[in-house]
Amino acid sequence: MPRVFRVMRKDADDKPTVSPTSLGVRSGTDVDLDPQNNVLVNGKGMSVAPNWRDINVNRIPKRLRPRLPGAGGSNNTFCFRAGLGLFQQGPFANGLTLEPDSATHGNVAPANVVPFATYEADLAATRPDWQEDET
Amino acid sequence: MTTNPKPLTMNPSYLAMVRGTRELHQLLAQGKDDSPEADAVRDRTDGPWQVLSEVERNRVRNLSEDLYSLTEPSRPQRPMNSQAQAKLLEAFEARERGEWDRALDLLRRWQAYIEPSLVSYLRGSIWLEAGDPDTAAIFYRHALELDPTNGNYHAMALYCLNLSDPLAALQEATEILKDPEKSSAGVVARAADITLMSARLKSGTEADQTFHQLEPILANTIARMEKGDPNEFDRTTYVTLLSLSGFGYEFLGNTQAALALYSAALQIDPTNDALYVARGMLLYGTSGRAITDLEIAMQYGTPLVWPYVMLAHHHLLAGRFEESRKLSEQAIRVGGSAAVMSEVWEWMAIAQTHLGFPADVIRASFDNAIRLDPSNERAKRNVAAFESATRPISWQTRSIGAVRISALAERRYAMAAA
């Protein structure tokens, strides 16, 4: 699994909250759907970065300002990491691929055309792989 | 060799990111970190963020950090020492060289030793010179909040507000001018400038009324400055007040009063090219002094087009065609409205004809004149005269008075739109 970072909310077990704006996606915004409600395989997906410092400064929790000046995100969100591999195109988890679109950003996308619910479930299934990492 | 510092290059993604970051900080200041509005800003800035260069990302991060200073309580100021003083000087020098990021970095690093209002004021000045008046306005306003008695902070805050939100600036200027004695002369001058500039786009009657209201305020403020402490006399503000009064009188058609005020201002600031242009334009055709004034303005490297235009016309009428041609070239380089440039190309064509330029070069100049202003019938008649076999050609050019009147009117609207 490639090493990726994402800012998300967390549940009591310190794992990311499964929701469209946390561990998940918004249809029509993060991914495109066909008329049958299948997710298009077009490189779009759940936004991730190879390092939390590469993420939009307005999303990085404010408490990290001493480490990253200007951080403007909510302190109710956390930087999570999953995987240890290289940040490059390839399999991410069951049914999912990493699709980098630059050296500092990529999307966790569906590997195949699947129903939106399946894609959501595949993303949710990665929940145990994520751990807080703000180092 | 010194070069003028260049403003930052700001692509649409960078501008969207900076705008979003400023908006987010307004929400953070209201405790709306977790609000849908804040999340909407974060969503809106994700795309722009992804395409920023690392330099731009650092600039935005640092701006965001500096924006926190607007709402966070100031830390106790440390006593200034020689090292901090040297770093502050370095920041000034970096700003002078146009090294905007470095200047801001130095201020950030050494801000604990500098009066907080001065830190915000300097940040405002750096962002203004770097070409971002919207961000500058925020820092100037903060400097003013920290030190409400500082007229310079207020004048600069108003100046930047006028660049970023002219309507809000006009409203604030109107409030200031209701009770001008409460504000410093510099603030009154800025408020009067904003009011006068906006008035020139109104109807003649409304604009006249505005200046009639401003006239006593300007006169009283000039008098207040003259009676004030000579050690605190601010020449720049004094010259601005005289110039604004002069312009107001010029606007009302009181040429003599305007000339007297421009001359008084030039006595205080004898290298002010804009004042030479203003006086030279008013005097054009009525006094030889006009030509001297316009030539001096050129010598001072004025960025205004009018001296080149009027002197090109002057030399054309006097039959000094090479001088006229060169000045027309300079006027074209500086640029102006289509109507003015059309006439300058027409003069160029006439001068070229007298200087024996090839016919196709002359035709190209006439073509430019007609292309720029298809309603320029005089240029069409002149090109027809050029094409006819009749020699000598009887050219048609506008009189000195006509050129002066239209140039003054053009300048008025150009200044108001600037």
Residue with tokens 């000087």: B89
Q: Is residue B251 part of a domain?
A: no
Please tell me if residue B49 touches chain A, with a CB cutoff of 8 Å. Answer: yes
pLDDT of B228 over the 60 cut? yes
B35 backbone dihedrals φ, ψ, rounded to 5°: -80, 160
Beta-carbon contacts of B11 under 8 Å, excluding residues fewer than 6 positions away, are none
pLDDT band at A37 (very low <50, low <70, confident <90, very high): very high
Q: Is residue B193 part of a domain?
A: no
> Can you tell me the mean pLDDT for A36-63?
96
Specify the number of domains making up chain A.
Answer: 1
Q: Which helix (H) or strand (E) holds A105?
A: strand A105-110
What confidence tens digit (pLDDT) does each residue in A59-98 have? 999 999 999 999 999 999 999 999 999 999 999 999 999 9
pLDDT of B418 over the 60 cut? no
Nearest CA-CA distance, residue B107 and chain A, Å? 14
Domain containing residue B311: 306-417
Express as a percent the part of chain B with pLDDT over 90.
Answer: 78
pLDDT of B414 reads 57
**CB-CB neighbors (< 8 A) of A102 in chain B:** 50
Residue where one domain finishes, among candidates B136, B161, B177:
B136
Contact A56 B45 (CB under 8 A): yes
Nearest CA-CA distance, residue A58 and chain B, Å? 6
Determine which of B50, B52, B60, B69 to mutate to test the interface with A (most A C-beta atoms within 10 Å).
B50
Please tell me if residue B18 touches chain A, with a CB cutoff of 8 Å. Answer: no
The enclosing domain of B405 has a CATH number of 1.25.40
pLDDT of B416 reads 45
Contact B62 A71 (CB under 8 A): no
Q: Is residue A132 part of a domain?
A: no
Specify the number of domains making up chain B.
Answer: 2
pLDDT of A6 over the 70 cut? yes
What confidence tens digit (pLDDT) does each residue in B130-145 have? 999 999 999 999 999 9
B184 backbone dihedrals φ, ψ, rounded to 5°: -70, 160
Rounded CA separation A91/B98 (Å) = 47
pLDDT of A36 reads 94
What confidence tens digit (pLDDT) does each residue in B280-327 have? 999 999 999 999 999 999 999 999 999 999 999 999 999 999 999 999
pLDDT of B417 reads 45
Exposure of B54 by Cβ count < 10 A (0-12 exposed, 13-18 middle, 19+ buried)? Answer: exposed
Q: Is residue B250 part of a domain?
A: no
Domain containing residue A8: 4-127
Q: Is residue B252 part of a domain?
A: no
Give the strand pairing for A114-115 and A78-82: unpaired
Scanning every residue of chain A, which has its alpha carbon at the shortest distance from the alpha carbon of B66? A70
pLDDT of B54 over the 90 cut? yes
> Can you tell me the mean pLDDT for B21-30?
96
> Can you tell me the mean pLDDT for B376-398?
85
> Can you tell me the mean pLDDT for A33-41?
95
| Nearest residue, CB atoms, A57 vs list B34, B39, B61 | B61
Contact A101 B25 (CB under 8 A): no
Q: Is residue A78 part of a domain?
A: yes
> Can you tell me the mean pLDDT for A13-35?
95
pLDDT band at B394 (very low <50, low <70, confident <90, very high): confident
pLDDT of B77 over the 90 cut? no
pLDDT band at A40 (very low <50, low <70, confident <90, very high): very high
Q: Is residue A133 part of a domain?
A: no
| Nearest residue, CB atoms, B63 vs list A56, A70, A104 | A70
Contact B21 A75 (CB under 8 A): no
pLDDT of B415 reads 57
Q: Which helix (H) or strand (E) holds A63?
A: none
Classify A41 in phi/psi space as left (phi over 0), alpha (psi -120 to 50) or beta. beta
Q: Is residue A134 part of a domain?
A: no
Q: Is residue A9 part of a domain?
A: yes
Nearest CA-CA distance, residue A8 and chain B, Å? 12
Let me know: does B64 contact B25? Beta carbons within 8 Å: yes
Contact B57 A69 (CB under 8 A): no
| Nearest residue, CB atoms, A57 vs list B39, B43, B64 | B64
pLDDT of B376 over the 70 cut? yes
